[in-house]
């Protein structure tokens, strides 16, 4: 796998049973890259390890006044220098490729999971947690994957050098063979507290990230109530907690680094002290001592890889566990996942029916749903899209015609039923890019027709004045992130236009006109009814202007349909009237007559307009 081949056509199905299993799965999926990095690492480190041998041979040749051996030693040093340069370059290239490909695979998996879960993601895990996993945690996991091959080559070279020293100079080799395991194992008791401190730092950083994202998302509201300073103080406090946790964690890693310097230094001193005694006794030559000293010095280099792999694993293990938890999230119910999530066959059509609530939306009709609890309305709207939560465990699947939406591929269900949330998101880009969406239905809906039905005339005028190129073309005007440059009503109408262009078999709208005035709302209701003629549309709303234009209205109480009829028929129901008119349940016949009169008056106003 090369970096230019990214992104993956299919990142695969990860093993999310635990963090270590996820990392093992990542390693298996790039085994070729790991082997390549391991081999280049062995070439590099073995060459570095043999350099002291060539140096010692050259020094001994000078002592023995042997020109031939000095030439051979010099040639060997040149060859080893070339191998060191090539091995180090290729090792860095292969290891970095492993890092990037592992991080890219994880990010693709997280993006796919986000798309699968949709709005349910942030109900199961905080947005700040998702951000932290997809940035910092992905980087730490990639670090471990990258360091693994270098650790393997370091471990192999250390074992080879230790055995070679034991054979080359047994007296000093025994000291080294006993000392190296002590150096490797000395830091193990320090790793658990270091990991604990790192986890605390990461948890505080995740909370700070979540607080920052929430503050940015609600910046306009904060300014309106003068709460910027309050939230800024909270973020400063959270930021300082992260800083203190980072310093606390860094102290432990500094201690580990100090141990990794101190103990090898003690071993080096012991080897030199013992070796000088052997030279004095005539048991070894000066060249042999220089060779042993140089090779012990070399051992300090692979020992740093041991420290790094310990640090990388300590950081990546909890990160992998968090990533595995996010990747293991599913929508409630037996959602069926297929490799081809984009296919739309078989075509789904017919009445939309939810057995859990008893809600029926007849095919080709405009059905309005009145629900006294806004949260319950949002959950029911999402459930109608399939693969969502019912009122209880084991709730039966929503059906579209003869098909249960939970039993068809997710892509097929979403192509057939489009749910527009109460607070739809507008992505940054031009208006043309915003409305450039695939049509799910059998007939195309033009952009102009959708904009007109959603009453976006004033929005187009505002965008034309703000067009960056001065052309006055609203379709080329840029919309900022999440549509923050637009008012709530403008965002809502553009989102409605986008949904209308999509033209799905079933369109579910949750409070699509809550941020517009009554006259605009009445015109939107007429435009929606006209443009969606012959298509199934479900609108969650308590607005009389919308309800009066619906073919049928379903009144939902405590998760079940309590009454069905037209808006004017249901006004006879005191509970329904209390929800729609937002008045206490003490309505009189006079109040009912007033409501009907108001509806007729609005009809006359619209006809004259």
Long-range CB contact pairs, 388-395, < 8 A, 24+: 388/120, 388/331, 388/332, 388/333, 389/120, 389/331, 389/332, 389/333, 390/332, 390/333, 390/356, 391/356, 391/357, 391/559, 392/356, 395/333, 395/355, 395/356
pLDDT for position 484: 76
Measured distance CA(270)–CA(172) in Å, rounded:
10
Answer whether 84's CB lies under 8 Å from 48's CB: yes
d(CA 539, CA 370): 9
What was the pLDDT predicted at 6?
Answer: 80
Q: Are residues 322 and 430 in the same domain?
A: no
59-63, 185-189, 240-244, 539-543, range with greatest mean pLDDT: 539-543
Q: How confident is the model at residue 368 (pLDDT cuts 50, 70, 90)?
A: very high
The answer to whether the beta carbons of residues 60 and 285 sit under 8 Å apart is yes
> Is the pLDDT score of 453 beyond 70?
yes
- The residue ranking higher by pLDDT, 144 or 606, is 144
Rounded CA gap, 31 and 20, in Å? 16
What is the model's pLDDT at position 237? 83
292 and 436 co-located in one domain: no
Helix axes 170-185, 138-168, angle to 10 degrees: 160
Q: What single-letter DSSP state applies at residue 390?
A: -
Would residue 105 count as lying in a domain? yes
Work out the pLDDT band at 469, boundaries 50, 70, 90: low
Q: Is residue 562 part of a domain?
A: no
Average pLDDT, the chain: 80
Domain finish residue from 505, 536, 559: 505
Residue 456: per-residue pLDDT: 92
Does residue 174 belong to any structural domain of this protein?
yes
Number of domains in the chain: 2
Q: Are residues 154 and 278 in the same domain?
A: yes
Residue 353 falls inside a structural domain: no
- 217 pLDDT higher than 70: no
Neighbouring C-beta atoms of residue 433, cutoff 10 Å: 14
User: What is the structure's pLDDT at 392?
Assistant: 45
User: Is residue 444 assigned to a domain?
Assistant: yes
Residue 338's pLDDT band, with cuts at 50, 70 and 90, is very low
583 within a domain of the structure (yes/no): no
Chosen domain end from 277, 310, 327: 327
The last residue of a domain, from among 327, 360, 375: 327
State which H helix or E strand residue 23 sits in: helix 19-29
Which pLDDT belongs to residue 196? 81
In this structure, the answer to whether residues 74 and 209 fall within a common structural domain is yes
What's the pLDDT band for 546 if we cut at 50, 70, 90?
Answer: very high
Task: List, for residues 513-524, the tens digit of each pLDDT value.
Answer: 888 888 899 999
**The domain spanning residue 481 has which CATH number?**
3.40.50.300
Same domain, 156 and 286: yes
Q: Does residue 311 sit in the same domain as residue 450? A: no
Which residue range is the domain that position 447 belongs to?
425-505
Condensed to tens digits (0 to 9), the pLDDT of residues 305-333 reads 877 887 788 778 888 888 998 898 876 53
> In sequence order, what are the residues at sequence separation of 6 or more whose Cβ sits closer than 8 angstroms to the Cβ of residue 209?
128, 131, 132
Q: Indicate the range of 23-27, 67-71, 341-345, 570-574 predicted with least confidence.
A: 341-345
Closest CA to 524 of 463, 452, 605, 462: 452
pLDDT of 495: 92
Residue 544 lies in a domain: no
Looking up residue 176, the CATH number of its domain turns out to be 1.20.1560.10
What is the distance between the alpha carbons of residues 23 and 16, in angstroms, rounded to a whole number? 9
Give tens-digit pLDDT for 81-126: 999 999 999 999 998 898 899 889 999 999 888 887 776 777 777 6
Q: Does residue 463 lie in a domain region? A: yes
- Confidence at 506, pLDDT banded by 50, 70, 90: very high
Residues 111 and 244 in one domain: yes
What's the whole-model pTM score?
Answer: 0.60
- On whether both 297 and 444 belong to a single domain, the answer is no
- Mark whether 431 and 305 lie in a shared domain: no
């Amino acid at each position: 796998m090369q970096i230019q081949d990214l992104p993956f056509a299919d990142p695969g199905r990860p093993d999310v049973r635990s963090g270590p299993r996820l990392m093992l799965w990542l390693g298996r999926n790039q085994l070729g890259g790991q082997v390549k990095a391991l081999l280049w690492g062995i070439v590099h480190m073995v060459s570095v390890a043999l350099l002291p041998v060539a140096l010692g041979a050259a020094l001994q040749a000078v002592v023995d006044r042997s020109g031939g051996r000095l030439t051979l030693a010099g040639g060997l040093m040149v060859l080893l220098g070339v191998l060191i340069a090539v091995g180090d370059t290729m090792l860095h290239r292969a290891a970095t490729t492993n890092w990037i490909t592992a991080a890219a695979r994880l990010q693709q998996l997280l993006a796919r999971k986000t798309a699968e879960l949709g709005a349910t993601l942030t109900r199961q895990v905080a947005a700040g947690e998702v951000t932290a996993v997809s940035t910092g945690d992905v980087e730490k996991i990639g670090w471990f994957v990258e360091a693994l091959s270098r650790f393997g080559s370091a471990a192999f070279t250390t074992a080879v050098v230790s055995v070679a020293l034991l054979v080359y100079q047994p007296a000093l080799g025994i000291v080294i063979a006993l000392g190296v395991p002590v150096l490797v194992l000395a830091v193990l008791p320090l790793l658990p507290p270091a990991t604990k401190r790192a986890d605390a730092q990461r948890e505080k950083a995740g909370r700070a990230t979540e607080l920052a994202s929430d503050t940015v998302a609600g910046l306009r509201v904060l300014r309106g109530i003068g709460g910027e300073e309050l939230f800024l103080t909270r973020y400063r406090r959270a930021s300082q907690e992260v800083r203190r946790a980072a310093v606390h964690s860094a102290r432990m890693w500094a201690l580990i680094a100090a141990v990794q310097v101190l103990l090898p230094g003690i071993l080096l001193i012991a080897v030199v002290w013992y070796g000088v005694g052997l030279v004095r006794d005539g048991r070894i030559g000066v060249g042999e001592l220089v060779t042993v000293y140089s090779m012990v010095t070399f051992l300090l280099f692979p020992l740093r890889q041991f420290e790094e792999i310990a640090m990388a694993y300590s950081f990546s293990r909890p990160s992998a566990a968090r990533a595995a938890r996010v990747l293991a999230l599913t929508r409630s119910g037996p959602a069926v996942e297929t490799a081809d999530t984009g296919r739309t066959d078989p075509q789904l059509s017919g009445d939309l029916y939810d057995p859990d609530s008893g809600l029926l939306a007849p095919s080709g009709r405009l059905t309005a749903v009145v629900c006294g609890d806004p949260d319950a309305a949002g959950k029911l709207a999402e459930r109608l899209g399939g693969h969502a939560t019912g009122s209880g465990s084991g709730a039966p699947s929503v059906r579209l015609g003869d098909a249960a939406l939970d039993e068809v591929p997710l892509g097929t269900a979403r192509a057939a039923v489009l749910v527009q949330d109460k607070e739809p998101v507008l992505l940054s880009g031009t208006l043309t890019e915003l409305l450039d969406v695939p049509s799910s239905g059998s007939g195309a809906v033009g952009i102009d027709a959708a904009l007109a039905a959603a009453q976006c005339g004033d929005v187009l005028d505002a965008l034309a004045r703000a067009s960056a190129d001065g052309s006055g073309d609203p379709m080329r005007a840029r919309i900022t992130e999440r549509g923050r440059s637009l008012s709530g009503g403008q965002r809502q109408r553009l989102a409605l236009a986008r949904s209308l262009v999509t033209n799905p078999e079933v369109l579910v709208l949750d409070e699509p006109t809550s941020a517009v005035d009554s006259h605009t709302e009445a015109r939107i209701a007429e435009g929606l009814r006209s443009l969606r003629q012959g298509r199934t549309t479900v609108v969650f709303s308590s607005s009389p202007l919308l309800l009066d234009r619906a073919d049928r209205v379903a009144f939902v109480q405590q998760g079940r349909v309590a009454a069905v009829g037209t808006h004017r028929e249901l006004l006879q129901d005191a509970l329904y009237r209390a929800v729609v008119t937002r008045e206490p349940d003490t309505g009189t016949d006079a109040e009912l007559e007033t409501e009907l009169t108001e509806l007729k008056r609005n009809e006359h106003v619209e006809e004259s307009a």
